[in-house]
Amino acid sequence: MTQSWTLSPDRGFGPDPARLTIARRLYATVANLPIISPHGHVPPALLADPSAGFGSPADLFIIPDHYVTRMLYSQGLPLEGLGVPTRDGTPIETDHRAIWQRFADHFHLFRGTPTGLWLADELINVFGVTEKLTSASSQRIYDHLAERLAQPEYTPRALFERFNIAVLCTTDAATDPLAHHQALREQGWGDRIRPTFRPDAVVNLHAAGWSEQIARLSDMSGVEIINFTSYIRALEDRRAFFKRMGATATDHATLMPYTARLEPHECGTIFARALHGTATNDDAARFMGHMLLEMARMSAEDGLVMQLHVGSLRNHHDALFERFGPDIGADIPIQTEWTRNLRPLLNSFGHDPRFRLLLFTLDESGYGRELAPLAGHYPALLLGPPWWFFDSVNGMRRYLDRVIETAGLANTAGFNDDTRAFASIPTRHDIWRRVSCDWLAGMAVEGLIDEDDASAMALDCATRLAQRAYKL
């Protein structure tokens, strides 16, 4: 290894010396704080078994990461050649060194992207890689990584400690028995790794396998679901179970944040049609609109924080969905209207002191126009951090520039990494801490806030807002 690969200690900071001085000072106070990871998709199995490992470098960095595979696919590399599992029996590459080589040959595609920055930080600072990933260095780096991954210091559990993660929340189906979380609780890890209740598969009447999911919901809850009333009871039962298992939040995904109350008899008839497999698209949309109100009602009653992720049109590419299933990089955002859609829910629960709702968007045009004004009014409402494609240096800056002036920092929910890529958690939080400190330094150097305020806001951004928002 002859070339040296490093990252600037000032990465993410603007270059002006006056601003840089403040940014460094602020960052020094938050850089090493424990990580609060209140929302993400790390598989709990990875952490429940103390001896679980990450597999090969390709298993860790490429195959399950749709940020990586979508970019390679967009430039003509078939997903089969990257080892992405198929569900139609199409054969895939099984040589992980070959997968790694393809990735390295195209690593330049990630220039200027957050994925590129995360990967560099992980390779350099988590795994000690010292030469830049290129076609030429690829196999040497593979050897290096494989060697590290075989060491006990590089198990998920060991990295969890090294990453200084105070708490990590997973996202779990409403019907999940939470066996891994049960194991974690028995090992004394229940306060550090918590489940989140995600009922989409039983709330979206047109979700794949809805009927089977309802049957499973009956089984798991012990409530025989024969109508809307028993369905609600089963959901309430599962929420209580999740809460007993350490959950502090729920999570919901919809294409649009439509909310509207149905008449009681409509709930019954739509649900009956769904059980008979005859629910229409309109039924599904109206049912979802009503269920968001029901979920808000339950949150007000049981205190679980409600998260709402809106605006991703899933599985845009039919042929790829047929072959590979969901979550392979073909989910595309659409425009989102919040002001009218959320009004029924906010009028019912927006001022309820027991209720808390966190919103996440893929349509940045709503930041200043709708979301910040709503969060700057309704007590129950907080804005989640920049999500998905916007979890980038520029995306964070746009968010801070547009949201804080209107909503105020206190009406936001701090940061969450929302990742299934466990090894990327520290770098994602680190970038947020850097960008927020740099942004605050910019405000301070322009005389818009004083440095005392900047210091307090840096701590808020790093951990306090997330802890408060998620009741952690």
Q: Does 231 engage in binding with a second copy (CB under 8 A)? A: no
Residue window 36-75: x/- pattern of binding to a second copy, with contact defined by CB under 8 A: ----------------------------------xx-xxx
Instruction: By CB under 8 A, tell whether 449 contacts a second copy.
Output: yes
Site string for a second copy, 402-441 (x = CB under 8 A): x-xxxxxxxx------------------------------
At 253, which helix (H) or strand (E)?
Answer: strand 249-254
Q: Which is nearer to a second copy, 116 or 246 (CB)?
A: 116
Residue 109 exposed, middle or buried by CB count within 10 Å (0-12, 13-18, 19+): middle
Q: Who's near 176: CB < 8 A, 6+ residues apart?
A: 195
Out of 28, 45, 113, 269, point to the residue binding a second copy (CB under 8 A): 113
* Tokens coding 171: 């996202």
Q: How far is the CB of 192 from a second copy (least distance, A)?
A: 29
Biggest CA pair distance of the chain: 73
Residue list 347-366, contact with a second copy (CB under 8 A)? 347, 350-351, 353, 362-365
- Among residues 372, 437, 466, 469, the one that binds a second copy under rule CB under 8 A: 372
For residues 214 and 225, the answer to whether their CB atoms sit within 8 Å is yes
* 191 counts as binding a second copy under rule CB under 8 A: no
Residue with smaller CB distance to a second copy, 157 or 429: 429
Q: Considering only residues 238-277, where is the footprint of a second copy by CB under 8 A?
A: none
Q: What are the φ and ψ backbone dihedral angles of 309, each rounded to 5 degrees?
A: -105, 120
- Smallest gap from Cβ 204 to a second copy, in A, equals 18
471 is a site residue for a second copy (CB under 8 A): no
Shortest approach of a second copy to residue 202 CB, angstroms?
A: 26
Binding to a second copy, residues 296-335 (CB under 8 A): 313, 316-320, 329-335
CB neighbours of residue 348 within 10 Å:
16
User: How many CA atoms does the CB half-sphere of 227 hold within 13 Å?
Assistant: 7
Q: Which is nearer to a second copy, 11 or 243 (by Cβ)?
A: 11
Q: Which helix (H) or strand (E) holds 369?
A: none
CA distance 334 to 363: 7
- Does residue 122 touch a second copy according to CB under 8 A? no
Q: How many residues in the shown chain lie near a second copy by CB under 8 A?
A: 92
Q: How far apart are CA 459 and CA 33, in angstroms?
A: 9
Cα angle 321, 327, 330 (rounded to 5 degrees) comes to: 65
Q: Determine the interface stretch with a second copy among 10-18, 81-89, 206-214, 301-309 (rule: CB under 8 A).
A: 10-18
**Structure token pair of residue 324:** 């590979």
> 231 or 399, CB closer to a second copy?
399
* Cα–Cα distance, 12 to 121 (Å, whole number): 13
Q: Which is nearer to a second copy, 269 or 335 (CB)?
A: 335
Q: Examine residue 469 and tell whether it contacts a second copy (CB under 8 A).
A: no
Neighbours of 106 (CB within 10 A): 16
